[in-house]
Amino acid sequence: MFSVIATQFALAQRSVRIGYVDMDYILENVNEYQVANELLQKKVAKWKKEIEEQQLSIEQMKEDLDTERILLTKELIEEREVEIKALEEEVLDYQQDRFGPQGDLVRQRSQLVQPIQDQVFNAVQELAASRKYDFIFDRSADVVMLFAEKRFDVSEQVLRMIDINRKTDAREGKPSVLEAFEEIDPELKARQDAYEEKKSERDSLIEARRAAKLKEIEDRKKAYEERRKKMLEEREAKRKAKEKENGEEGSEENSEQSSEYN
């Protein structure tokens, strides 16, 4: 209790120094962050494209099934429907892996922002110690700031200190924010490799099944054409036989009539 009173008294004896930083402004002005963020956006675009391609593939499979349904057995139809449902569930799982609450996008974004936040924290600590600041707030955080005088904004000073510290780290051989971000995330790489392997196996399986089903359809068509041809040949043979039979009967009648006339 005495220490709190003593602190309040000490603060009352001099003006309180307060400052704030704008984290959004700092991120916009750290070139390495902007480059790394562009890399992340390219990854996001690639993930979205993969999902879109899989969804289009599933829609095509549904259309093919509707077109071929009349030519397929009940068992083949059920097999195709199970395959389509499995692919739909796989796409949903992939969406969660990439864009879910614990997905790659959230983790990668955290990996991108965290080093900058650490640099800002260290710079703020140095600034507060050297300039005797009592409080330095983050304007973009959850602290409610209804008004903030621009002269209390120390963002530019923090940026200069970050630049100085970055040059020092470069001389000491420490990785930059961009280099750290570009390092392969083992979990992300393992997940991507597993996805690519699974996708390759699935594509091969789908292609094999498609080829087998197309062959079955062609065999059915061929068998149908052969039956139709045979049926037409039999019908033509019966017609000719009937004509021949009628012709012979006509000849016999003419012969009988000729005999009676004579």
- pLDDT digit string (tens) for 163-178? 887 787 777 777 666 6
| Sequence-separated contacts (24+) of 118-122 with Cβ below 8 Å | 119/162, 119/165, 119/166, 119/177, 120/21, 120/23, 120/26, 120/158, 120/162, 122/165
Tokens of 222: 């061929």
Structural domain includes residue 144: yes
Q: Is the pTM of this model over 0.95?
A: no
Residue type at position 229: K
Is the pLDDT higher at 255 or at 217?
Answer: 217
CA of 148: how far to CAs of 11, 24, 54, 153, in Å? 21, 15, 49, 8
| CB burial readout 74-106, b (16+ within 10 A) else e | eebeeebeebbeebeebbeebbebbeeeebbbe
> What's the structural domain count of the chain?
1
Q: Is the pLDDT of residue 11 over 50?
A: no
Q: Is the pLDDT of residue 123 over 70?
A: yes
Across the range 35-48, mean pLDDT stands at: 88
Q: Is the pLDDT of residue 4 over 50?
A: no
Banded model confidence at residue 48, pLDDT cuts 50, 70, 90 = very high
Structural domain includes residue 244: no
Structural domain includes residue 224: no
In this predicted structure, what is the pLDDT of residue 190? 64
Q: Is the pLDDT of residue 181 over 50?
A: yes
* Alpha carbon distance 218, 206 (integer Å): 18
Structural domain includes residue 242: no
Least confident span in 2-16, 34-48, 127-141: 2-16
Q: Is the pLDDT of residue 52 over 80?
A: yes
Residue type at position 35: V
Tokens of 7: 């602190």
Is the pLDDT higher at 87 or at 222?
Answer: 87
Structural domain includes residue 193: yes
Structural domain includes residue 253: no
Banded model confidence at residue 188, pLDDT cuts 50, 70, 90 = low
Q: Is the pLDDT of residue 14 over 60?
A: no
Tokens of 187: 């979990």
Across all residues in the chain, what is the average pLDDT? 78
Range of 214's domain? Answer: 18-219
Q: Is the pLDDT of residue 5 over 60?
A: no
Tokens of 261: 């006339």
In this predicted structure, what is the pLDDT of residue 6? 44
* Alpha carbon distance 29, 116 (integer Å): 11
Structural domain includes residue 251: no
Mark out the alpha helices in 69-154 (DSSP H runs): 74-99, 104-131
Structural domain includes residue 37: yes
Q: Is the pLDDT of residue 19 over 50?
A: yes
Cβ-based neighbours of 151, under 8 Å, separated by 6 or more: none
| Sequence-separated contacts (24+) of 79-85 with Cβ below 8 Å | 80/213, 83/206, 83/209, 84/58
Residue type at position 99: F
Q: Is the pLDDT of residue 69 over 70?
A: yes
